[in-house]
Amino acid sequence: MAELDTSGGSKKGGKVRSKKQSTRVDLTAMVDLAFLLITFFMLTTTLAKPQAMDMFMPDKNDKNEELDVKASRTMTVLLGSDNKIVWYMGVIGDNPPTVDNFGKNGIRKSLIENNRQVIASTGNPEKGLMVIIKPTDKSVYKNFVDILDEIKIANVPSYGINNKVEKAEIGLMKDQGAFKDKQP
Amino acid sequence: MPKVKIKRKSTVTDMTAMCDVAFLLLTFFILTATARQPEALEVETPSSTVTFKLPDTDISTLTVGQDKVFFGVVGYDVRVNTLERMGKQYNINFTDEEKKRFSLIENFGVPVASLKQFIALENSERMKIKQPGIPSDSGANNELKQWILQSRYATKELHNVDLRFSIKGDSNEEYPTIRKVIDILQDQEINKFSLITSLEGVN
């Protein structure tokens, strides 16, 4: 009689032997991912810290500290509206004021140039330019940080911050159109 | 001469150890990273070229923007101590629960009178309401001055170091507001402080 083989492919009817698979897994992709994440966390934890600019103000109570600086060495920088700067050398009225803006070719050039001239005239690299910063009511905080930054970049040896803007100086700024109310 | 046959080596390397190290480091960085808290007052800091990093401890940040001043100090213990001192100053009693909740607030800008209600709010609600800022006008009602003073006492008592102050001002904040804050600091003979900026290159 004809017989039907229903037992499929199994031969001999013996044990089914599973093929032994290697336990090795390719870890390349996993390592790649891990290092990517490490890089990300390292950068975000260290770079996210805010940068800070240290600032020193003169002591308010110390009245007898009159700095002995020749007027010819001083440069008064008035911060005005619309990111404008008005500066003059020495005492007000002695030298014509100059209007500058922030940036590479603006105040930075003036600072470097003035510092160079002052050092050339005093002959002492330690007796360089003395910048007096006077932020007016029309200036914004950004201007203040920017000018401190420019002074640092220009390597000006000394600077001071003076919050007392005189009337004559405001008049000077009005003449130069740097003392306008904020446009709405 | 017989050819020298270079034995071909397998390019497969065992990465198990490398993988272990990588994940160990990853775990470390994830755990040490602190999640950034949402800020009560969004400010856009001006950029500068300085690369000095602020310290992590014993620092207070005065956020200035939109004519408002917000106060914040780092450290749970300092915050609690400062709150206790402020309570004494203004005759307000804070419960332990309130102190605990206050210690989790990074920075805030509400007058002392409404501080109790502010602490009672949920975190998500706190972000939603508009905080009026800390009263800082000169005169008897200068609460910012008190906050600064009391937090300095607190830091000195707890850590025996001087509290540093940093000003985080908005780029377009008008200078008189900044001057007001600087004046308050200077009245207490704090002549050295930091201005928080973001980074930019020299150009």
**Average pLDDT of chain B, as a whole number:** 80
DSSP B55: P
The beta-strand segments (E) located in chain B are 47-48, 59-65, 68-73, 107-108, 164-169, 192-199
Max alpha carbon distance in chain B (Å)? Answer: 103
Output the pTM of the full model: 0.71
Query: What residue type is A79 in one-letter code?
Result: L
Contact B19 A182 (CB under 8 A): no
Tell me the chain A residues in contact with residue B20 when contact means C-beta distances shorter than 8 Å: none
Residue of A nearest to B23 (CA): A34
Residue A6's pLDDT is what? 54
At A147, is the secondary structure helix, strand, or coil?
Answer: helix
Instruction: Specify if B6 maps to a domain.
Output: no
Round to whole Å and give the CA distance between B76 and B158: 11
Residue A61's pLDDT is what? 64
> Structural domain of residue B134, as residue ranges?
47-199
Instruction: Specify if B33 maps to a domain.
Output: no
Instruction: Specify if B15 maps to a domain.
Output: no
Task: Give chain A's end-to-end CA distance (angstroms, integer).
Answer: 106
Query: Domains of chain A by range and CATH?
Result: 71-175 (3.30.420.270)
What confidence tens digit (pLDDT) does each residue in B19-59 have?
Answer: 888 889 888 888 877 666 666 677 777 777 777 777 778 88
A180 φ, ψ (degrees, to nearest 5): -110, 155
Q: Which of B172, B175, B162, B185 is nearest to B62 (CA)?
A: B185
Residue A106's pLDDT is what? 78
Element (H, E) at A98: strand A98-101
Tell me the chain B residues in contact with residue A35 when contact means C-beta distances shorter than 8 Å: 22
Examine the pLDDT at A184 and tell me if it is beyond 50: no
Instruction: Specify if B90 maps to a domain.
Output: yes
At A159, is the secondary structure helix, strand, or coil?
Answer: strand
Round to whole Å and give the CA distance between A180 and A81: 6
Tell me the chain B residues in contact with residue A182 when contact means C-beta distances shorter than 8 Å: 174
Instruction: Specify if B151 maps to a domain.
Output: yes
Q: Which of A101, A80, A75 is nearest to A174 (CA)?
A: A80
A4 or B152, which is more confident: B152
Instruction: Specify if B9 maps to a domain.
Output: no
Determine how many CB atoms are found less than 10 A away from the CB of residue B103.
Answer: 16
Residue of B nearest to A81 (CA): B174
**Structural domains counted in chain B:** 1
Residue A46's pLDDT is what? 64
What confidence tens digit (pLDDT) does each residue in B153-183 have?
Answer: 888 888 888 888 888 888 888 888 888 888 8
Quote ipTM for the complex: 0.71
Max alpha carbon distance in chain A (Å)? Answer: 130
Distance of CA B88 to the CA centre of its chain: 24
Instruction: Specify if B41 maps to a domain.
Output: no
Tell me the chain A residues in contact with residue B45 when contact means C-beta distances shorter than 8 Å: 50
Element (H, E) at A54: strand A51-56
Burial class (CB in 10 A: 0-12, 13-18, 19+), A49: exposed
Residue B136's pLDDT is what? 77
A176 or A159, which is more confident: A159
Q: Which of residues 43-62 of B touch A (CB under 8 A)?
A: 45-46, 48-54, 56
Closest-CA distance of chain B to residue A106, Å:
12
